[in-house]
A and B are shown apart, each in its own frame.
Chain A
Amino acid sequence: MMRFLLLFSRQGKLRLQKWFMPMSEREKKKIIRDMTTMVLARQPRTCNFLHWKDLKIIYKRYASLYFCLAVESQENELLALEIIHRYVELLDKYFGNVCELDIIFNFEKAYFILDEFLMGGEIQETSKQIVNRSIEASDMLQEGDNSEWYEVELFG
């Protein structure tokens, strides 16, 4: 299973954190520090895999964002790269040419999309279209709520 997924900028600012196993705040902070240090220190043309404790770390940079996925040792690293790529594609489809700012200002949406793609450290849905449709439908439900209020977009 996957253990955690982190998104951070080139300056090490955290943009998203998904934990698939319970951990204390202190442990999470330490892991975030370790990951950002390790990944940002990597040379440009090295492979995308690292070892950290008993986990495999797969990371990939998309524009200004680093995607860092930690998996258990029996997982397939090459497929983990595909998982990261699929998530980026989903974000891209939803936001249209997604960039870091989209994820900063709409972080909750990024989480919602992730929660339709992965769950409990495993892949939940392998079809891009189905994930997108679920998100759109949920968004519609949300709008159904909001139409009672004069603010159409509660989240700005």
Chain B
Amino acid sequence: MPAPIRLRELIRTIRTARTQAEEREMIQKECAAIRSSFREEDNTYRCRNVAKLLYMHMLGYPAHFGQLECLKLIASQKFTDKRIGYLGAMLLLDERQDVHLLMTNCIKNDLNHSTQYVQGLALCTLGCMGSSEMCRDLAGEVEKLLKTSNSYLRKKAALCAVHVIRKVPELMEMFLPATKNLLSEKNHGVLHTSVVLLTEMCERSPDMLAHFRKLVPQLVRILKNLIMSGYSPEHDVSGISDPFLQVRILRLLRILGKSDDDSSEAMNDILAQVATNTETSKNVGNAILYETVLTIMDIKSESGLRVLAINILGRFLLNNDKNIRYVALTSLLKTVQTDHNAVQRHRSTIVDCLKDLDVSIKRRAMELSFALVNGNNIRGMMKELLYFLDSCDPEFKADCASGVFLAAEKYAPSKRWHIDTIMRVLTTAGSYVRDDSVPNLIQLITNSVEMHAYTVQRLYKALLDDISQQPLVQVASWCIGEYGDLLVSGQCEEEEPIQVTEDEVLDVLEGLLVSNLSTPVTRGYALTAIMKLSTRFSSVNRIKKVVSIYGSSIDVELQQRAVEYNALFKKYDHMRPALLERMPIMEKTATNGPTEIVQTNGETEPSVVEAKHPPPVTQPANQANDLLDLLGGNDVVPVIQTTMPTKPASAGGELLDLLGDLSLSGAPAPAPAPSVPTSQPSFLLDGLSSQPLFNDIAAAGIPPMTAYSKNGLKIDFTFERANPNPNIAVITIHASNSTEADMTDFVFQAAVPKTFQLQLLSPSSNVVPALNQGTVTQVIRVLNLQKQQLRMRIKLTYTHKGSPVQDLAEVNNFPPQSWQ
């Protein structure tokens, strides 16, 4: 059997291969040779063969058949064999392999070897890839070596101990005694690894942390010596003495000083010294400054020191070196919350970084810019950020757009500015805007009541230019559907009103329906918008035609909507105005951010808001029946929920349910919703506050009245007219309590004659505080199509001084203006 070829020769040969196939062939041939050589149990060439195997492994070829051979090499007496054997073990074996454990005994022996380089190999291997079992078995040996005076071994033992602790944290205690005089070493290697070991222990155990706090003065001294000492050739890097050790000590000081005043004070001076004396011309000096800044920001440093740190970061921002700018931005991002004002001073530099060519820097600068936006700088910052949005890479656009929306919402100086900003984002980055922004924007737009005309006009103009950006198209369709009447009437105050006819508007919306660019969701928006315009425009026939066409659309969502809208035209035309009337202002759910509002086509379905409802009354249906009984049978219809503008496809099923409900409305059915807020969020804008919704729309000057006053409970009614539908009266009840005890579990119910329709919104609370300290308000909307005299039966239930109270009353003294 010829001697196996040498490693170098193999490498040379393999590199001559011109194709992958050729290389594979050579490797397979050699592997076969190596395999037979292994089978012969040849000690002489084992080392060479394993080395070749490791080379082939690096090229990506399997080498598992060499694992056992590595173990044999480790067990050999020759240093050469051990060197390659341990290397092979580290490359081919890890704790997932069973053979791994076979190493334990070898390592144990080698840890006690007479040659320190053999001991070093064993420590290195154990410290790199020792499994938990191995660590448990050999921790004692490591601990012994940690106390040796041989610095070569001591430093390796320290890092090996770090690995043991990472694998088996319970063993941490046993290394504690050995740490006693680790820091008194002169040898930098030992010092460095000792600091690493101490850091690991402090990070894992608060007790250890407390115990090692006493080392702070010693650490400070070592650091001071490093800085003050003269040139030391052994550790010098560009004029700085052992930067690796300096950084490590700074990191340990950070951990020790955090949340501890005394330690923080003890390190104050040295930190200031390092911060001011370190050379900044090379990367290494900046590395130390960077670590210093991180330490200053984390411990309880005095304000002067903190300002110094932020200023260092500010200087970093102006550095030519990109890495340093990047690192500065990252650190500023971490500190912007706690030291906001200090960071604000560097705002202009940060904003300049938005124009940097480096992608990582741009991203950091963007995040930091958003963090720095506040009420004072919003206009300037937004200009920069919008410019950035225009020109940045697509990967940034979504985040930037979301950030702009958030910032605009928080700090918008005026509604007009807000709408303009939204428009700018939608038109420049419209396709990157997140889907959940659409409902949020719609909600914002409804809230800016006086801007409706301006908004719809701008959106309409934007649609004329470009219908490819879906979020823009969706918001625009919704607005046109809602405010189309303002659009054609040319009412805009903010800018020159445009002349547009109903047909032109319908052309645009129909265009969206047929365009290939529109997604199914967008088509849904467009169809619903067209439908809504049937109550706002006069060209109802055209709309009917469009709707009926889509009744046979392939798209199921669209078809369902169209069919339902058709039904609305045919069977329920009298309901149509009420269903499709203008949406009231939507209130956002209190605590949660925009994404909590699950809106589809402009309706709030805040499942969160249900928690705000008072507990629903147990048997609403029965109580409705009670009212009926009292009023003599079919005279009165129990309160039903009038539906809001129809929901889009995703809730198509519910719409059908609604129509089902309506068909039952004649009978005293239990199905219709009770007069208390229901657990049926689908149709109501449950999130509405119970304050009068249309304050800014002229109330017809209807005088308020007292509907009920008995036993200390007084209920007043105030009136508004709903706009644009004058057939709806909006009544707000105000319940007050003049007794000395609160009225809890307060529930107000109402019933009206059949010719009316009544909708009860959620009350402000269910506790009427004593001694007139507050009122419970609730909104009632009454649709009075036949203009009959309004009558109402009310039922009050509450708990007063521990006992339940119930009362019924009839309210007949409505002022004529409320129903005429």
Contact = CB atoms under 8 A, between A and B. Distances in A.
B39 interface: no
A120 B159 CA distance: 7
Nearest to B84: A108
Contacts of B129: 22
A104 B7 CA distance: 11
Contact of B287 (A49, A50, A78): A78
A79 B287 contact: yes
Given A79-B243, A81-B283, A124 B189 contact: yes
B246 to A, nearest CB: 10
Nearest to B126: A120
Nearest to A50: B360
B397 to A, nearest CB: 19
Contact of B235 (A50, A105, A127): A127
Top 7 nearest A-B pairs by Cβ distance?
Answer: A156-B8, A78-B287, A156-B6, A47-B322, A125-B189, A120-B127, A22-B94
A11 to B, nearest CB: 13
B455 interface: no
Contacts of A45: 322, 357-358
A23 B83 contact: no
A46 B321 CA distance: 10
A77 B100 CA distance: 34
Contact of A155 (B7, B91, B325): B7
A48 B6 CA distance: 39
Interface residues of A, number: 55
B48 A144 contact: no
Given A29-B60, A123-B192, A79 B244 contact: yes
Nearest to B8: A156
A47 to B, nearest CB: 4
A142 B79 CA distance: 6
B234 interface: yes
A138 B117 contact: yes
Contacts of A15: 58
Interface in A45-75: 45-51
Given A29-B60, A123-B244, A128 B162 contact: no
B361 to A, nearest CB: 6
Contacts of A37: none
A46 B360 contact: yes
A78 B286 contact: yes
B324 interface: yes
Given A50-B360, A78-B327, A145-B79, A155 B6 contact: yes
A39 to B, nearest CB: 13
A137 to B, nearest CB: 7
Nearest to B360: A47
Interface string B406-439: 0000000000000000000000000000000000
Interface in B10-62: 11-12, 15, 44, 47-48, 51, 54-55, 58-60
Interface in A1-57: 14-17, 20, 22-24, 29, 43, 45-51
B451 to A, nearest CB: 41
Given A76-B290, A126-B244, A48 B152 contact: no
A47 B358 contact: yes
A77 B54 contact: no
A141 B79 CA distance: 7
Nearest to B127: A120
Interface in A106-142: 107-108, 111-112, 115, 119-120, 122-130, 134, 137-138, 141-142
Which of A14, A20, A154 has the most C-beta atoms of chain B within 10 angstroms of its own C-beta? Answer: A154
Given A22-B94, A49-B326, A146-B80, A126 B189 contact: yes
Interface string B199-221: 00000000000000000000000
Interface string A60-103: 00000000000000001111011100100000000000000000
Nearest to B118: A141
B357 A79 contact: no
Which of A120, A124, A130, A155 has the most C-beta atoms of chain B within 10 angstroms of its own C-beta? Answer: A120
A117 to B, nearest CB: 10
Nearest to A111: B87
Interface string B176-195: 00000000000011001100
B237 A76 contact: no
A59 to B, nearest CB: 11
Given A17-B58, A47-B360, A49-B323, A79 B247 contact: yes
11 contacts: A46-B357, A107-B58, A111-B87, A119-B160, A120-B163, A122-B162, A123-B193, A124-B189, A128-B234, A130-B234, A156-B6
B87 A108 contact: yes
A49 B127 CA distance: 28
Contacts of B327: 49, 77-78
Nearest to B289: A78
B48 to A, nearest CB: 6
A122 B87 contact: no
A76 B87 contact: no
B466 interface: no
A107 B6 CA distance: 14
Nearest to B325: A47
B124 interface: yes
A82 B283 contact: yes
Nearest to A148: B78
Contacts of B131: 22
B247 A76 contact: yes
Given A78-B290, A82-B287, A105 B51 contact: no
B324 A78 contact: yes
Given A81-B283, A112-B83, A156-B6, 4 more contacts: A14-B58, A46-B357, A48-B322, A124-B189
B242 interface: yes
A48 B283 CA distance: 12
Nearest to B321: A47
Contacts of B162: 120, 122
Contacts of B495: none
A142 B117 CA distance: 11
Contacts of B358: 45-47
Nearest to B238: A82
A138 B11 CA distance: 24
A16 to B, nearest CB: 8
Given A79-B244, A108-B54, A127-B189, A156 B9 contact: yes
